[in-house]
Structure 1
Amino acid sequence: MIENNQLQAYGWNQHWDDVLSRHFANASENLSPARVIAQFSHSYSLMTESGEHSAVVTGKFEFNAAKRGDYPAVGDWVLVAQLPNERRSVIHAVLPRRSAMVRKVAGQVLEDQIIGANLDYLFIVNALNLDFNLRKIERYLIAAWESGAKPIVLLTKADLVDDPANFASQVEQIAPGVPVHVVSAHRDQGKEALQAYMQPGNTIGVTGSSGVGKSTLLNWLAGEDLQHVQGIRESDARGRHTTTHRELFLLQGGALFMDTPGMRELQLWDADEGIQHAFSDIEALADHCRYRDCRHENAQGCAVLDAIEAGELDAKRLANYRKTSRELARLARKDQAGSAKSGQKSARAKPSKPRPRANQFADWDND
């Protein structure tokens, strides 16, 4: 195993040693591993064996990159050549990712964007103010489950409501198998429940809308001001994008915390497995429907509709499930049509079957 305290502090372990041996056994001796700790428009900050370096990709790397998702992302392990007598490196390759939170880029372009790579946990942050929205949390859970990281829901700003436990109960009903924690940095409440995730070497990503308190959460968990924070417009709970780029911070206890800019919208990507996990209660009910192709709309013998009638399932949850499934399937067809028109195989579809694609949150159903 590579013996370097700096790299090990940033998460290098036996798994990555094995990946390096398996995939890059013939790599030049001049190349060494480093972790991407910040990403800017055309450059990166890395933690290397000799400390923090700025970096760019090689011309060959850029030429061979077929899509945005091929480029390094924050959290990636990369192979670099360090420039002599300088605090700069050149990135030659990205090690295969263990996990990655991915979304579709904004607009009509069918292309992926890596929010964070090699995450152990993903904190889905929702504030207990006007931002609170169960439908939004469901969509973030889809992306989280698809990422390969373990989702955790954090309800921040618990000091703003009289009964935060009621909000936590609502989230638990739409997040089967996902831990839900209520926290307040203002009151220093709930930190002890997060310590189980904050172990040395663990990488924790955080995602959510602007103004939910992600940077405040970072500063609170770190015990120091690592990120500047601003207030929000109380009239609509909109944040001001305090964080402008993705960055990985090493906390004093040894955990790694990835802060990300707030999202005004999240478009899903490769989400068929994620939707099965996020709506596992509906998927389980559907197994008992009379017809295998039941649409859960009006068929007699539909176990899902029976559960709604019995008060065991929220009709809004089913509506969001159906809506998301339709939109993902529709965008998958657009992807296939675009690939057929260009005469190329879709780079975003797995060979076995077409993959559902994206969904925009412009018309969330508010509770």
Structure 2
Amino acid sequence: MNLSTTDRSLSGYGWNDGWASKFSLFAGTDLRPGRVTRVDRGLCDVFLDDDGSGAPGTVRADLRPVRISDPAEWVCTGDWVGVDLTTAPLPSVAAVLPRTTAIVRSTAGKRSEGQVLAANVDTVMIAVSLAADPDLGRIERFVALAWESGAEPLVVLTKSDLVGDADFVKDDVEGVAPGVTVLAVSAETGEGIDVLRACLGTTSALIGQSGAGKSTLTNALSSSESMVVQATRSVDEKGRHTTTTREMIPLPGGGVVIDTPGLRGAGLFGGEGLAVAFAEIEELAADCRFHDCRHAGEPGCAVRAALEEGTLPVRRWESYQKLQKENLWIASRTDARLAAERLKKWKTITKSVRANGSPKK
């Protein structure tokens, strides 16, 4: 891989025969394939092989033609789209290709909705700063979120130059992220950056708390100063949300990385990733005497036996229970919202039938 140049073509952004085949649906139209590199305020930046000038470039496009009510389906950074350059005053996104993966977190509030952080990602880099003691429970949450996306999680312990026991901390993190690669790196000294590059897929996304060094890491990977970096507060190592939007940065030699704003919360949205992140607990549960074991004192409970023997850490079990309860709550809120929407639609149809004798189309 040539790290001295950046591939400024659509293939450098991940375009391949698979995406070309999906886009063939729009053959015969004026739509041009492109990849969304940034979204804000109803508009987006899209990279095209031909931006209208005969050369590759980025255009500002209107998202209104593809705007729908479900936030989980809103166009986001990483989406592959079809752009109409003939609309005025701006080009417009007229079509969105189905996603292969999506990092989706639940949003706070009464309405349980999914917020897409990045789409069509191969690798989810979970940035964890070594400048403070890592929160193992939060790492487990991020790992579950990454598995849930359909992409491959990768835990990146940043700022390794600030500590002398990076390997010791790495061992602890590997214990709560079974099956996940954990790397200690320093963007300041360059330690581990080449190894990290070798582990990345075509499209990688960076998630983590503010102050974890995501933007600094993005600059190191891209060999540029693409992202603005601010200092963390020395008193608590908290960041200042340097990154305010999800932005895609091309990498030397091909591929891209999506830097995301710091996450104060990362609620799961779906639950599938939980079973993978806590695979050893799922395996233990499968060995319980009763298939509906609640692991609360039933005879023949393999989970309780592992807790008593010390082979399953109590902290990890409690973390699993917490996330499981959260998922059940989110599912109940989602089901309630869908039921309310169905009831509202049914009432509208019934009212129309009573007034006109036929359903309102």
Picking from 136, 139, 142, the partner of 2:138 is 136
1:345 deviates by 10
Picking from 51, 57, 74, the partner of 2:63 is 57
The percentage of counterpart residues that share the same residue type is 39
1:179 deviates by 0.5
Question: Partner of 1:191 in structure 2?
Answer: 193
1:147 deviates by 0.5
> Aligned partners of 1:135, 1:5: CA distance in 2, in Å?
39
What's the RMSD between the two structures over aligned residues? 2.1
Question: Partner of 1:339 in structure 2?
Answer: 338
Q: Deviations over 1:195-242 (max 9, x none)?
A: 32346xx01100000000000101112222111101111222210011
Secondary structure of the residue that 1:300 maps to in structure 2?
A: coil
Picking from 67, 70, 74, the partner of 1:71 is 74
- Name the CA shift for 1:142/1:101 in 2 (closer, same or farther; >3 Å): same
Secondary structure of the residue that 1:195 maps to in structure 2?
A: helix
Which amino acid in the other structure matches residue 295 of structure 2?
H
| TM-score when normalising by structure 1 | 0.86
Question: Partner of 1:349 in structure 2?
Answer: none
Question: Partner of 1:14 in structure 2?
Answer: 17
CA contact (8 A) 1:198 1:254 kept: no
1:255 deviates by 2.2
Secondary structure of the residue that 2:141 maps to in structure 1?
A: helix
Secondary structure of the residue that 2:32 maps to in structure 1?
A: strand
**Alignment coverage as a number of residue pairs:** 333
CA contact (8 A) 2:269 2:330 kept: no
Question: Partner of 2:295 in structure 1?
Answer: 296
Matches within 5 A, 1:149-188: 149-188=151-190
Which amino acid in the other structure matches residue 288 of structure 2?
C
> Aligned partners of 2:291, 2:234: CA distance in 1, in Å?
48
> Aligned partners of 1:219, 1:270: CA distance in 2, in Å?
32
- Name the CA shift for 1:131/1:210 in 2 (closer, same or farther; >3 Å): farther
Structure 1: unaligned runs, 5 residues or longer: 347-367
Q: Which has the larger displacement, 316-325 or 328-337?
A: 328-337
> Aligned partners of 2:199, 2:344: CA distance in 1, in Å?
40
Secondary structure of the residue that 2:335 maps to in structure 1?
A: helix
1:107 deviates by 2.5
Question: Partner of 1:117 in structure 2?
Answer: 119
Question: Partner of 1:279 in structure 2?
Answer: 278
1:88 deviates by 4.4
Structure 2: unaligned runs, 5 residues or longer: 1-6, 51-56, 346-361
Secondary structure of the residue that 1:343 maps to in structure 2?
A: helix
Task: Tell me, yes or no, if structure 1 residue 330 matches structure 2 residue 329.
Answer: yes
Question: Partner of 2:270 in structure 1?
Answer: 270
- Compare CA radii of gyration and give the structure with the larger one: 2
1:82 deviates by 0.9
Matches within 5 A, 1:203-218: 203-218=203-218
Question: Partner of 2:4 in structure 1?
Answer: none
- Name the CA shift for 1:342/1:98 in 2 (closer, same or farther; >3 Å): closer
> Aligned partners of 2:172, 2:158: CA distance in 1, in Å?
15
> Aligned partners of 2:84, 2:324: CA distance in 1, in Å?
44
| TM-score when normalising by structure 2 | 0.87
Which amino acid in the other structure matches residue 259 of structure 2?
D
> Aligned partners of 1:144, 1:104: CA distance in 2, in Å?
13
Which amino acid in the other structure matches residue 13 of structure 2?
Y
1:343 deviates by 2.4
CA contact (8 A) 2:270 2:331 kept: no
Which amino acid in the other structure matches residue 340 of structure 1?
A
Q: Deviations over 1:290-313 (max 9, x none)?
A: 221122232232211222222211
CA contact (8 A) 2:222 2:249 kept: no
Q: Specify which structure has the higher proportion of helix.
A: 2
CA contact (8 A) 2:197 2:221 kept: no
Question: Partner of 2:128 in structure 1?
Answer: 126
